[in-house]
Structure 1
Amino acid sequence: MLKQTEGSRAVAETVASCRPEVIAAYPISPQTHIVEQLSRLVKSGALKPCEYVNVESEYAAMSLCIGASAAGARTYTATASQGLLYMVEALYNASGLGLPIVMTVANRAIGAPINIWNDHSDSMSQRDSGWIQLYARDNQEAADLHPQAFRLAEELSLPVMVCMDGFVLTHAWERIEVPEQAQVDAFLAPYEPRQVLDPDEPVSIGAMVGPEAFTEVRYLAHAKQMQALEAIPDIAREFRRAFGRDSGGLIHPYRCERAGTIVVALGSVLGTVCDVVDEMRADGVRIGALGITSFRPFPLEAVRTVLGGARRVVVLERALAVGVGGIVSQNVRTALSGIRLDGHTVVAGLGGRPITKESLHRLFADAVGGRLGHLEFLDLDTGLVERELARMAQSRRSGPSAENILRDVGSNR
């Protein structure tokens, strides 16, 4: 059904159409509207049978999901930012146990300093936790990825994160095709768990494993992620046949044919990137864009195929690996091992800073003109940074940097 709705509401209604049997809810901005709408659907009887549990923390949310999934229930939760970090111990347990939990991550910066706006710091911090990570380009894809996520999780018995940009997508109102219940029922079969805890046949799960078998257990987790590289595009093709929309998959190339420069990005910034690509193409610049939907598992071969013919690659990062630089770019470099081309990492939009077309035009023009360094920070105010570095050099008691910079920003206005 095509309707004007909020991204969070579209995701909630699509999740409900997947018929989860247990939902663990602990609100944290910007995912709150998702679990609030699901609570309304459960209370009204529109979603049943479903046990909706208000828990006391994000750690409890994932712990409840582990118990519910292990008992054989289709299970869902959502979180963001510090909430994702709070559930980390349980996050690893969920993947280590091979439980097909689906979780929406409404991407938001992590502190300190406190910041509630969008970047990818939260989910990127958990890239090696064993969860599949799928990143939505827009709200339509954010909704569409959830039936695919349940299908993928249950086929492989692995947990899946669906990552959507906080506020940029979660709180945006637009026309979205929300899947009909009959469509989802035809696409997503009733849940048949691979492993179920049965009181009549008690067993231990998550038991101690020593050096004699731990490597093999971890290798199997890797092997299942490699299976996902085949399952994700297969499921996306089935979704396209059933719903008539191109959502999901591993990657989304855009105007990459004969492109000398290709920009790589994840999430909602791709819309702006593609607009700038169109404008530069109209001016005769051979530039393209590559959207990565599946960050875990990372589609090395697919990325190599698209980027291998370019002269230069610009990876637009929404998170920062402090002390190194890029996160996505490290994976891109692995994909391009042995191929000689210019590679650039650009950290942009941290803490919700706008990524404008004007800034991207300048950035891409510098890349095409050979003026871009290997690590850049888009729209970085070097004056503020240099002023704080000077303070730190002058006094051991220079004070907290974040507060100093805020005062400097205020004095500049």
Structure 2
Amino acid sequence: MARKMKTMDGNQAAAHASYAFSEVAAIFPITPSSVMPEHVDEWATEGRQNILGETVQVTEMQSEAGAAGAVHGALAAGALTTTFTASQGLLLMIPDIYKIAGEQLPGVFDVSARAVASHALSIFGDHSDVMACRQTGAALLCESSVQEVMDLTPVAHLAALKGKLPFINFFDGFRTSHEIQKIEEWDYEDLKDMVDWEYIDAFRQNALNPNHPVERGSAQNPDIFFQAREACNPYYDALPAIVQEYMDKVNKKIGTNYALFNYHGAPDAEHVIVAMGSVNETIEETIDYMIEKTGAKVGLIKVRLYRPFATDAFLKAIPKTVKTISVLDRTKEPGSIGEPLYLDVVAALSDSEFKNVTVLSGRYGLGSKDTTPAQIVAVYNNKEKKRFTIGINDDVTHLSLEVGPAIVTTPAGTVNCKFWGLGADGTVGANKNSIKIIGDNTDKYAQAYFDYDSKKSGGVTMSHLRFGDKPIKSTYLIKRANFVACHNPSYMTKFNMVQELVDGGTFLLNCTWSKDEV
């Protein structure tokens, strides 16, 4: 089956796949997820049809709490329903997610995971929002790249229907949601092929209907509440196999090998990282570099289905030679004995053949802090620190790892370009167009990421563009560029821009000065 190559960001990939399986979208905008419902709204207005031959009914509510309530109501009435959110928006949906899961309704929440405000607000990416939902009963499915968002979002929709449970389908805010990549796009006919229609029928039969009344939303006393609460166990036990079944359908269609936990690295690895989200792309790239250069015995386990956590599948993914496992969490739970993914890994290993393996716990990437290959090498070199951080210099509690010199792991021949602009001067918009032109009109792989502060207009913007003949997994900022452009002459005295050029690179200064004045 041939799929069209198209250049888009993670939000558009999620919206494209979710639109196919949705009849209703209840929405409320919040950065960085707003782009998803914008696309859905636009396509519905244009009359795009989902796999059922209908246009999606889009309703904007007055808050995320309202959107979640509308999702609950639409699902109870038997409509395939989706919403899109992040951060505080997702937290406002938590009471409804408990109800939707408790009533076994197959809604999908597409989440571009973002930091929750604590000592300060951050509009940038980490996993603190989705981690606040792990006790709700929703399944949590994670993607690491724009292509994976396209490929695996259908799995969330299909497994929700068969498994009779809601899904939080999440990926990293900004780093995946706003990263533009050249990817393969689903054709709706292929998505239609993977649907088991009897589960849609069963969902419809279960809808509230005056012709066959049922009791919903009762209040229960101590005599039966606990028993009824435990009655959902078989559904959670069955869900991992259902998710794998639909991953296998996807694999068969497009030749991938998606699993609940995917391993990458040396077959005889002694130090393995366990992680979720866009950092996996950087870790893969770093592993390939380390193995090629030094034959390092290192590996990575990519967590895709985080809830329900399938211990058996996780243990099967671990190489038998492992001596140390470093778990990387993109969240902070102050006061806890360890971060959530770390605690799950420790619990999964406790009764297994790996119970004597050393498990280390690391934090990275909070509030979109950049995570580089050199930091990943530091994780593999770490033997001493049981709990650590990377990407910052922690001079308070001294948890940070010593990071060595920067390494270049991006595939040889990749062209790296960096554009410095002023928010709202058109630089970011022009670069979005440039990368789409390169992606859609050449046979090169292309990637673009836009780094700016929360002021947006009037702030500094840095556009990072890469293109080349090999797939690009560099989910971090460009520090060595073949081409650097400065679109605001006042930056010349404020920032080190020329210093980031490789030898023989090109520097473009956009200014009104004469050659001699420059």
TM-score normalised by structure 1 residue count: 0.88
Aligned counterpart for 1:124 among listed residues 115, 119, 131? 131
Partner Cα separation in structure 1 for residue 266 and residue 345 of structure 2? 16
- Residue matched to 1:142: 149
1:197 aligns with 2:208: yes
- Are the equivalent residues in 2 in contact too, given 1:119–1:350 (CA < 8 A)? yes
**Paired positions, count:** 381
Q: Deviations over 1:369-412 (max 9, x none)?
A: x23x11111133333679xxxxxxxxxxxxxxxxxxxxxxxxxx
- Residue matched to 2:339: 326
How far the C-alpha of 1:215 sits from its partner, in A, is: 2.3
Partner Cα separation in structure 1 for residue 279 and residue 262 of structure 2? 13
1:354 aligns with 2:370: yes
Partner Cα separation in structure 2 for residue 15 and residue 379 of structure 1? 34
Q: Deviations over 1:219-257 (max 9, x none)?
A: 23332111012111111111211233334x311111252
Computing the radius of gyration over CA atoms, which structure comes out larger, 1 or 2?
A: 2
- Residue matched to 2:395: 383
How far the C-alpha of 1:32 sits from its partner, in A, is: 0.5
Partner Cα separation in structure 2 for residue 177 and residue 221 of structure 1? 37
Q: Where in structure 1 are there 5+ consecutive unaligned residues?
A: 387-413
Aligned to 1:224, what secondary structure does the other structure show?
A: helix
CA RMSD of aligned residues (A): 1.7
- Residue matched to 1:266: 276
- Are the equivalent residues in 1 in contact too, given 2:125–2:367 (CA < 8 A)? yes
- Are the equivalent residues in 1 in contact too, given 2:144–2:176 (CA < 8 A)? no
1:93 aligns with 2:99: yes
Partner Cα separation in structure 2 for residue 286 and residue 384 of structure 1? 33
Partner Cα separation in structure 1 for residue 232 and residue 279 of structure 2? 31
How far the C-alpha of 1:58 sits from its partner, in A, is: 0.7
* Amino acid in structure 2 at the alignment position of 1:337: S
Higher fraction of helix: 1
Aligned to 2:134, what secondary structure does the other structure show?
A: coil
- Are the equivalent residues in 2 in contact too, given 1:183–1:243 (CA < 8 A)? no
- Residue matched to 2:11: 8
Aligned counterpart for 2:192 among listed residues 160, 185, 190? 185
- Residue matched to 2:408: none
Higher fraction of strand: 2
- Residue matched to 2:243: 232
Alpha-carbon spacing, 1:256–1:322, altered in 2? closer, same or farther (3 Å): farther
How far the C-alpha of 1:289 sits from its partner, in A, is: 0.5
Partner Cα separation in structure 1 for residue 363 and residue 107 of structure 2? 31
1:313 aligns with 2:325: yes
Aligned to 2:210, what secondary structure does the other structure show?
A: coil
Partner Cα separation in structure 2 for residue 306 and residue 145 of structure 1? 19
- Residue matched to 2:484: none
1:27 aligns with 2:29: yes
* Amino acid in structure 1 at the alignment position of 2:80: R
* Amino acid in structure 1 at the alignment position of 2:135: D
Partner Cα separation in structure 2 for residue 222 and residue 128 of structure 1? 14
Q: How does 1:151-162 map to 2 (within 5 A)?
A: 151-162=158-169
Partner Cα separation in structure 2 for residue 164 and residue 222 of structure 1? 27
Q: Where in structure 2 are there 5+ consecutive unaligned residues?
A: 399-518
* Amino acid in structure 2 at the alignment position of 1:120: H
Q: How does 1:400-411 map to 2 (within 5 A)?
A: none
- Residue matched to 1:215: 226
- Residue matched to 1:251: 261
* Amino acid in structure 2 at the alignment position of 1:43: T
- Are the equivalent residues in 2 in contact too, given 1:308–1:336 (CA < 8 A)? no
1:74 aligns with 2:85: no
* Amino acid in structure 2 at the alignment position of 1:163: F
* Amino acid in structure 1 at the alignment position of 2:283: V
Greater relative contact order: 1 or 2 (C-alpha under 8 angstroms, separation 6 or more)? 1
- Are the equivalent residues in 1 in contact too, given 2:106–2:164 (CA < 8 A)? yes
Partner Cα separation in structure 2 for residue 130 and residue 256 of structure 1? 35
1:374 aligns with 2:386: yes
Aligned to 1:217, what secondary structure does the other structure show?
A: helix
* More off after superposition, 144-153 vs 212-221: 212-221
How far the C-alpha of 1:15 sits from its partner, in A, is: 1.5
- Are the equivalent residues in 2 in contact too, given 1:130–1:221 (CA < 8 A)? no
- Residue matched to 1:287: 298
- Residue matched to 1:242: 253
Aligned to 2:302, what secondary structure does the other structure show?
A: strand
Aligned to 1:383, what secondary structure does the other structure show?
A: coil
Aligned counterpart for 1:167 among listed residues 164, 174, 181? 174
- Are the equivalent residues in 1 in contact too, given 2:146–2:176 (CA < 8 A)? yes
- Are the equivalent residues in 1 in contact too, given 2:267–2:319 (CA < 8 A)? no
Partner Cα separation in structure 1 for residue 381 and residue 87 of structure 2? 33
- Are the equivalent residues in 2 in contact too, given 1:256–1:262 (CA < 8 A)? no
Partner Cα separation in structure 2 for residue 231 and residue 210 of structure 1? 33
How far the C-alpha of 1:152 sits from its partner, in A, is: 0.5
- Residue matched to 2:489: none
Aligned to 2:231, what secondary structure does the other structure show?
A: helix
How far the C-alpha of 1:150 sits from its partner, in A, is: 1.3
Q: Deviations over 1:46-105 (max 9, x none)?
A: 133421101111111111111111111111111100001111111111101100001101
- Are the equivalent residues in 2 in contact too, given 1:256–1:306 (CA < 8 A)? no
- Residue matched to 2:63: 57
* Amino acid in structure 1 at the alignment position of 2:96: A
1:363 aligns with 2:369: no
- Are the equivalent residues in 1 in contact too, given 2:9–2:181 (CA < 8 A)? yes
* Amino acid in structure 2 at the alignment position of 1:29: T
Aligned to 1:176, what secondary structure does the other structure show?
A: strand
Q: Deviations over 1:172-216 (max 9, x none)?
A: 111111110111111124522151100233333121122232223
Q: Deviations over 1:280-317 (max 9, x none)?
A: 22212211100010000112112223337310100011
Partner Cα separation in structure 2 for residue 359 and residue 147 of structure 1? 33
